[in-house]
Amino acid sequence: MEDSDDYIVRVTRLSIEISNHKVMDNLSFAIRRGTTLAIVGPNAAGKTTLFRALLGLIPYKGHIEWVGKVKIGYVPQILSVRDIPISVKEFLSFKSGSDIDQALVSVGLDPATVLNKSLGALSGGQLRRALIAWAIIDKPNVLLFDEPTTGVDVDSEEAIYGMLRRLTAQNKITLLLISHDLHLIREYSDFTLALNGCMVFFGESKEVAKLEIQKLIYGEPVCIISGEAHG
């Protein structure tokens, strides 16, 4: 018999409509604590919409049950900061009472180098790391990350995924991330949820190497009913 404490969230029969358009229909899955779930699918498949529902930002039908005490950190896909006259130190100081230097070091940034820089002066990779520092500075046990390597050069992609894996393991964080890179998904996540208006695949990330699974993800959607991350 499974222990319900093994799971940090259960989603049951989730349906979402936006402007009379059904974005998500009858989605059910569960995620084990301490695992990494990659969420994939074509554009407009409902990936970011699912995050917004998990965060309680939009109305939905069905049930989203977070189990136990949950503290969520969130890193959006796009944050336009080029014209915002605010330094890294000022940005991170919005989370009062936190150790800014420790947060920056934990994501691979040198406080002496970046603290007094404006957010707009950071490179793409530095900005993503600063956003991760902001998300983890108050020690969440769940992290939602929309496209971890948006605006990052190819050489920095695996470094950021590797850093995320280290952070989540050290701090026992359950990580949900949206990504398009199937290679990095196989390497750095435990499970994959594929959406295309419904759930078309849910299982171990190593399975996405199979051609038939990739056809399921990016071809015509063949919906399945539910899934649980067994691991």
pLDDT in tens, 119-138: 888 888 888 888 899 999 98
DSSP letter, residue 118:
B
Domain of residue 167 covers 4-71+140-228
143 pLDDT band, cuts 50/70/90, is very high
- Determine the average pLDDT of the residues in 197-221: 79
Beta pairing, strands 174-178 & 72-75: unpaired
Does residue 82 sit within a domain? no
Reported as half-sphere exposure (CB side, CA atoms, 13 A), residue 190 has a value of: 17
Closest Cα to residue 197, out of 53, 21, 20? 21
What pLDDT score was predicted for residue 3? Answer: 53
Say which CATH number the domain at 60 has.
Answer: 3.40.50.300
Q: Residue 47 domain-assigned?
A: yes
Average pLDDT for the chain? 85
Q: Is residue 181 situated within a structural domain?
A: yes
Residue of 70 and 152 predicted with greater confidence: 70
Residue 149 maps to a domain: yes
pLDDT at 231: 42
What letter represents residue 52's amino acid? R
pLDDT tens-digit profile of 26-36?
999 999 999 99
Is 126 a member of any domain?
A: no
Establish if 109 belongs to a structural domain.
no
The residue that leads in pLDDT, 217 or 205, is 205
Q: Quick check: is 192 in a domain?
A: yes
What local confidence, expressed as pLDDT, does residue 14 receive?
94
How many domains in the chain? 1
List pLDDT tens digits, range 164-177: 899 999 989 999 99
Q: Is there a domain that residue 37 lies in?
A: yes
Residue 122 Cα distances to 35, 59, 90, angstroms: 30, 36, 14
> Is the pLDDT confidence value at 202 over 60?
yes
Q: What is the pTM of this model?
A: 0.86
